[in-house]
Chains A and B, each alone.
Chain A
């Protein structure tokens, strides 16, 4: 469990994180979203005690990070890929980190196996691909079998197989009752992985919401129709409150009527249908609608002050 209260970080005149109050709950995967510069990495660094908050508090499993006696047992962290020395062999790096917590070499071998790094474990980290670096970072995070995982862009650079492995792993860990907090820019991947979302924009909390609720709220009533009679149908359906877009000669998108109403209408008129697809929002669409507003807001704020180009 991760709890922040009024968490704020200011760099000079820039507010990187602005009075953030969130709770990341155990037993589910919480996605952390926001445009570049929204404050995600800064928030994660404050959770891990690397960056000191300007004001506010952050606790992991009930304690400030710096007070944890066995950090690896409480939190496993993956930050951006460059947090390990490229001149050192992967196994040596893992052994050195494990030694701080008296974790045995047998556990080091276990996480190497688990992340599929056995064949490259004795190679220098500098020779690793981005995908291998991510696996090594996850190996570091799992060393102490932590109760909470903080993963910044864990699937960045992974091949499709690796992406799927991370998805299965974090879901499995959440199923064990662990807290999983991960950021990603891959919306389709996040949609499949996360149960809950925390979305930042300009350092502020924009949304703290259940995944299904968030997507449903952004969905509109409507459907897409494919029919040889598309043009005739468009004319017939036209009425106030209904918006029709002709996507192709035989393909239209209708908003304001749902798929059931459209199917009944087509049946009643005797029009042959080749496709009837209800419109449903994706996470990407819902996210862009939300953060689009935030970006606009920030733009106005900046032009108002006249401080930024």
Chain B
């Protein structure tokens, strides 16, 4: 056994946001699952950039070889490098949803929520720190991997496409796509916080993102169509859709601003609800 004498007079400071931020960052990056998920997200994004670049190139140069009617080729003629990269983003979003849910539910599945809340009894600051760390991590990973994907994709479409990799419009599109990804990751974090279970959290978040749009689209009523537009996945696509027909700064017509507040609401409202229930409920429903 240790002969180390027990030391007193330890320097201890108030629990504050920036300290919790650092604690939660250590927790995020000292789990192997985080590194795996981020690596998969980057690989999928870059891989999709290559795959889509290759298939568009095939379509344009030799449409019969990919079993497509030649008319379709015109649709992809003049596709920009960044739009190509962003169009392969759905797979990364699924991975980021898993990352967001896990960031909070692994605390419940392992019981570590107990030691976390003993250290941070006010609780709210813990959720906000996780939200900030997740946002920054997802945004940077998404932006870097999307940018990498533009370079991979460009090697295939350089004959037909538009090179916007070094333009304001191109970077704006990638930043918008990364922002969409970030807000959806926060939505996933909130769902995990509300449900406290990895399986239920991932199933619910992916259900709202992927299954619900399909179900609603089958309903015969007009309001269902409208409702479908407000679902998080559909709304988030406006964050990286820039063209002449789309208003940029309009509150009520679909475009960047409306996409931002609707997707933002899907992130902020469940997170607020999650914080309220976290404060009201006991730390752990088990034992």
Asked if B282 is an interface residue, CB under 8 A from chain A, the answer is: yes
Asked if B118 and A70 sit within 8 Å, CB to CB, the answer is: no
Per-position 1/0 for A73-91, Cβ under 8 A of B: 1010101101111111100
Interface size class of A (residues with CB under 8 A): 35 or more
Of the residues A72, A73, A77, A110, contact of B4 by C-beta under 8 Å: A110
Given A99-B26, A172-B6, are A83 and B15 neighbors across the interface (CB < 8 Å)?
Answer: no
Q: CA separation between A173 and B5, bound complex, in Å? A: 12
Asked if B23 is an interface residue, CB under 8 A from chain A, the answer is: yes
Asked if B110 and A50 sit within 8 Å, CB to CB, the answer is: no
Q: Which of B30-38, B167-175, B177-185, B210-218 contacts A (4 or more CB under 8 A)?
A: B30-38
Expressed in whole angstroms, the minimum distance between the Cβ of A99 and any Cβ of chain B is 4
Using a Cβ cutoff of 8 Å, how many contacts connect chains A and B? Answer: 139
Asked if B106 is an interface residue, CB under 8 A from chain A, the answer is: yes
Q: CA separation between A143 and B12, bound complex, in Å? A: 9
Output the nearest chain B residue to A143 by Cβ-Cβ distance: B10
Output the nearest chain B residue to A67 by Cβ-Cβ distance: B121
For B1, what are the chain A residues with a Cβ–Cβ distance below 8 Å?
116, 161-162, 165
Asked if B9 and A145 sit within 8 Å, CB to CB, the answer is: yes
Q: CA separation between A14 and B182, bound complex, in Å? A: 44
Asked if A140 is an interface residue, CB under 8 A from chain B, the answer is: yes
Q: CA separation between A110 and B11, bound complex, in Å? A: 13
Which of chain A's residues 160-215 have a Cβ closer than 8 Å to chain B? 161-162, 165, 169, 172-173, 176
Q: CA separation between A5 and B249, bound complex, in Å? A: 58
Interface core residue of A45, A65, A83 (most chain B CB under 10 Å):
A83
Asked if A144 is an interface residue, CB under 8 A from chain B, the answer is: yes
Asked if A292 is an interface residue, CB under 8 A from chain B, the answer is: no
Q: CA separation between A89 and B31, bound complex, in Å? A: 9
Asked if B2 is an interface residue, CB under 8 A from chain A, the answer is: yes
Interface residues of A (CB under 8 A from B): 41, 45, 48-52, 65-66, 68-73, 75, 77, 79-80, 82-89, 92-93, 95-97, 99-104, 107, 110, 113-116, 140, 142-145, 161-162, 165, 169, 172-173, 176
24 A-B pairs (CB sep. < 8 Å) = A49-B117, A50-B118, A50-B282, A66-B121, A70-B14, A71-B15, A71-B118, A73-B10, A79-B114, A79-B115, A80-B287, A83-B114, A84-B110, A85-B106, A87-B31, A93-B30, A95-B26, A96-B24, A99-B19, A100-B15, A100-B120, A114-B2, A145-B8, A145-B12
